[in-house]
A and B are shown apart, each in its own frame.
Chain A
Amino acid sequence: MTLDEIRRILNCEVLNGDENLNEEVTSGCGADLMSDVLAFARPGTLLLTGLTNVQAVRTADVADIKAIVFVRGKVPDRETVELAKAKGIPLLATRLTMFEACGRLYAAGLRGENESEAAQDAGGVRLHSTV
């Protein structure tokens, strides 16, 4: 699923990475605890989070997260956006809640870490949107 599709589905404002919206994410991960992201997220995933401080971007950088969607209408401060620019991590923001945002992306075909992994383990194709 491309970042532009995600922007459309979640009615996002783009805070960083306008020029990267054609890039694809292979799975989604929703979490406010960064250690959970570090433990469970796979490279190339989309992170949905309500955590808007600089650690969200540092975590994304360290764990090879493709892009971040901030939920619940929260937006990060300028320093956080600047770091994302420096690290090349697209940032989007939606007014939707975490549950609603994850639900809409799931309904559109994006899958979580577990299912992507299960499909891989079973030798099947990865369950991400082919739209």
Chain B
Amino acid sequence: MPGASVFTQQFEVRGRDFANAGRASTAVKEILKEIGVPPATVRRAAIAAYEAEMNVVLYARRGTLELQVSPAEIRLHVWDEGDGIPDIELAMQEGYSTASEEIREMGFGAGMGLPNIRKNADEFRIESVVGQGTELDIRIRL
């Protein structure tokens, strides 16, 4: 366990709520900036949070994004209730997407979401149960 959490905040994310999509991530960014996290690290965390949040909005019924900051790391813990991902290995491939035309019109569904999260994380774990939901554990070292 890499240090006690000094800050925790949870954000509720609703599926299909396009008007508010991204609000949690911009709040995460503001918080990290205020705490004094270096800008490049803030950007990595914000991008990972945004992709994770959009995944909930686009594909799940509802979800929670939890930000934890300790002296050692930033943790983004995201879990949702939704259809889940049948083949995670496939979903992790750049360019693979099951997005509908509607999602693509929103500017998403390029098949870059999960790869983007992995790229910006120091540690990334994903678990999914079909018919139940998906859980992401994203860690960025400070």
Interface residues in chain A, defined as those with a beta carbon under 8 Å from any beta carbon in chain B: 32-36, 38-39, 43, 49, 51, 53-56, 58-59, 61-64, 79, 87
Assembled-state Cα–Cα distance A53/B19 (Å): 9
Structural contact, B39 and A64, CB atoms closer than 8 A:
yes
Kindly identify which residue among A39, A54, A55, A87 contacts B115, using a CB–CB cutoff of 8 Å: A39
Q: Are B106 and A38 in contact (CB under 8 A)?
A: no
Interface of B is mostly: helix
For chain B residues 40-86, which have a beta carbon within 8 Å of chain A?
40, 43, 46-47, 49-51
In the docked arrangement, what's the CA distance between A74 and B49, Å? 28
> Quick one: which of B26, B39, B109, B115 contacts A62, CB cutoff 8 A?
B26
| Contact A62-B47, Cβ < 8 Å, known A38-B116, A39-B115 | yes
Would you list the 5 A-B pairs with minimal beta carbon distance, nearest first?
A58-B22, A35-B112, A34-B107, A33-B110, A35-B110
Our pick among B21, B25, B43, B110 for the contact of A43 (Cβ within 8 Å) is B43
B93-142: which residues lie under 8 A (CB-CB) from chain A? 104, 106-113, 115-116, 119
B29 interface contact, C-beta 8 A: yes
A64, B21: Cβ atoms under 8 Å? Answer: no
**A62 and B46 form a contact (CB under 8 A):** yes
Check B51–A55 contact: CB distance below 8 A. no
* Known pairs A34-B107, A54-B19; A59 contacts B50 (CB<8 A): yes
